A and B are shown apart, each in its own frame.
Chain A
Amino acid sequence: MRSEQEVGNAIERHSDMIRRLCMIHLKNYHDTQDIFQTVFLKYVLSSVEFENEEHEKAWFIRVTLNACKDLLKDFFHTHVVSMDELGEQASSFSSDNMEVLEAVQSLPPKYKNVVYLYFYEGYTAPEIGKILGKNVNTIYTYLTRSKNMLREKLGGEGYE
């Protein structure tokens, strides 16, 4: 079992990323709390030895996405997300921020993940393929389709 210090450090390192993944997938703050508990409980009990920080980060991404997927399978959860999930944070958002986040939230789950990992975290398509367990060509397809969808939703140019 990992130590309190290890868990504390991991929470500091990865919480913002997990929070963002929750935001694009989940409906309410209570679900986000569930995911945080699930992910970090799994971490504290896991005996996985990480080779480096990138390896650890990829582990957290995958475990978070799987936890979200499991939660959304629940009959009482829908795939509809709302900016309410962000609670008080939403008040600091500009209308542009809201528009972009809502556009990402409205994408199918598989596209949301790719958009976030590619455009925000800066992973390459092969890296995303490895993290998500998908063929790299599938990732390229998802990227193309998600860019088209974002272009439709947000309008404008520059989505090439």
Chain B
Amino acid sequence: MNDMIGTDGKLKDAFDKIHAETGLKAETKDFIAHKTKNYTSPARSVPGGAVLAMACLVLLLAGLGGHRLYFTEAAIISIDINPSIELNVNPFGKVISVTAYDDDGLRLSNAVNVRHMDYMGALDVILNSEGIATYLGRDETLTISVVGKNEQRNEEMLYNIETCIRGHENAHCHAGSYDLVDEAHSANLSVGKYQAFLELRQLDPDITVDDVKGLTMRQINDLMDDLTNGRKDDGAGNGGNSGNGQDPHGHGHGHGANHH
């Protein structure tokens, strides 16, 4: 790379001098041993005395607010190829609704029934559905974006989903910011596609939401590659009806979200 910040340079020299202190490692080992009672039981973040109170609270919630909690959205899994759908997932990891963002997405969501399934099971059904297999067979790109209100849950979901898509060619998984959800939905785009739009706009400030609405994820990625490599052509970024904006497979592009 270069001799200033490359692996043989000053940056490597500086980072090479940073080590975890012996005391830090020892404290960490002590902490883990303490939390796991010398590796005999899983750590509890809730004090033992509070367990009964928690159980009562859960029962109360089940009686009074359980229904509402079950239908509270905690995370969104955006699945985008050209069909764009979102799985809305509750705090228990169950799919509470499916939202389609184009006609193909609507067809896909009508073809599979994944409501009330665990999100992993739902994803498995969707990825193995005939519709998705057809798109991937056309060398399209599948992007799955996970956004949630809790960073730790996001990370866990991302890990599980990455494991699930391993082996699916042209499939990619990303984490995203929940802050973008409202903006994305206002633009009638799934969160995953909206994130792709924002990345594209960093490379070409003239690009608009309407330009990307009709594009497949493969086309958006190709456009990003072209822009990154300085090969922006006339058809790129100036409308979904010309150049890369044309869907070569003739897919329909509905506007507006459809909830199921």
User: Are the chains A and B members of one assembly?
Assistant: yes
> Are B31 and A119 in contact (CB-based, < 8 A)?
no
Interface residue B260 (Cβ < 8 Å from any Cβ of A): no
Given contacts A1-B42, A4-B33, whether A89 and B19 have CB atoms under 8 Å apart is yes
A residues at B contact (CB < 8 Å):
1, 3-4, 7-8, 11-12, 15-16, 18-20, 23, 32-33, 36-37, 40-41, 44-45, 48, 59, 62-63, 66, 69-70, 73, 86-87, 89, 92-93, 96-101, 104, 115-116, 119-120, 122, 132-135, 137-138, 140-141, 147, 150, 154, 156-160
Chain B residues close to A by CB (< 8 Å): 1-7, 10-15, 17-21, 24-25, 27-29, 31-33, 35-36, 38-39, 41-43, 146, 151-152, 154-155, 158-159, 172-175, 196, 199, 202-203, 221, 224-225, 228
B-side contacts of A32, CB under 8 Å: 24
Query: When the two chains form their complex, are residues A1 and B36 in contact, meaning their CB atoms are under 8 A apart?
Result: yes
- Tell me, rounded to whole Å, the shortest Cβ–Cβ distance linking A88 to chain B: 8
Question: Could you tell me the distance between the alpha carbons of A40 and B225 in the complex, rounded to whole angstroms?
Answer: 38
B25 to A101, Cβ gap below 8 A?
A: no
- Tell me whether A36 and B13 are in contact in the complex, defined as CB-CB below 8 angstroms, given that A4-B39, A89-B21 are known contacts: no
Q: Specify which of A37, A101, A133, A137 is in contact with B14 (CB 8 Å cutoff).
A: A101
Contacts of B13 in A (CB 8 A): 96-97, 100
| A122 with B7: CB separation less than 8 A | yes
Residues of B within 8 A of A119 (CB): 1, 5-7, 11-12
Q: Are B15 and A15 in contact (CB under 8 A)?
A: no
Please give me the 8 A-B residue pairs with the lowest Cβ-Cβ distance, nearest first.
A15-B20, A133-B175, A97-B14, A19-B20, A158-B2, A36-B28, A137-B224, A100-B14
